[in-house]
Amino acid sequence: AQKITQTQPGMFVQEKEAVTLDCTYDTSDPSYGLFWYKQPSSGEMIFLIYQGSYDQQNATEGRYSLNFQKARKSANLVISASQLGDSAMYFCAMREGEGERDDKIIFGKGTRLHILP
């Protein structure tokens, strides 16, 4: 079974609109972390935002915020006021455990976001 599910293979959004990229996860571990990465066409992976399972508030980083709904096991990424430079692949990822030596991070299949001028 998929541990990380991103149901939107691709999205087209008008510039300056807000965007929500969906991510649901599956874990029985009470301690975990959720990440979002951006991958432009150049190929590098850029860390955007992190949410710990025990964090009470939703994480925010500039125009990025993570809509963390623990009961639903969802961790959607919200990009406010989208820009042309936001066009990229976006990956949701999860680390199970408390950041121990043998923890691994599992990535979703990604969502390709296209921002239209």
Partner 1 sequence: EADIYQTPRYLVIGTGKKITLECSQTMGHDKMYWYQQDPGMELHLIHYSYGVNSTEKGDLSSESTVSRIRTEHFPLTLESARPSHTSQYLCASSEVREEETQYFGPGTRLLVL
The binding site for partner 1 (CB under 8 A) comprises 33, 35, 37, 42-47, 50, 52, 89, 91, 95, 98-105, 107-110, 112
Nearer CB in complex with partner 1: 28/41 = 41
- Closest CB 112 distance from partner 1, rounded Å: 7
Query: Which tokens go with 47?
Result: 């860390």
Nearer CB in complex with partner 1: 16/99 = 99
Radius of gyration of the chain (CA): 14
Distance CA 72, CA 101 (A): 28
- Closest CB 24 distance from partner 1, rounded Å: 15
Show Cβ contacts of residue 75 under 8 Å, excluding neighbours closer than 6 positions: 23, 24, 25, 34, 36, 51, 66, 67, 68, 69, 92
Nearer CB in complex with partner 1: 56/104 = 104
- Closest CB 107 distance from partner 1, rounded Å: 5
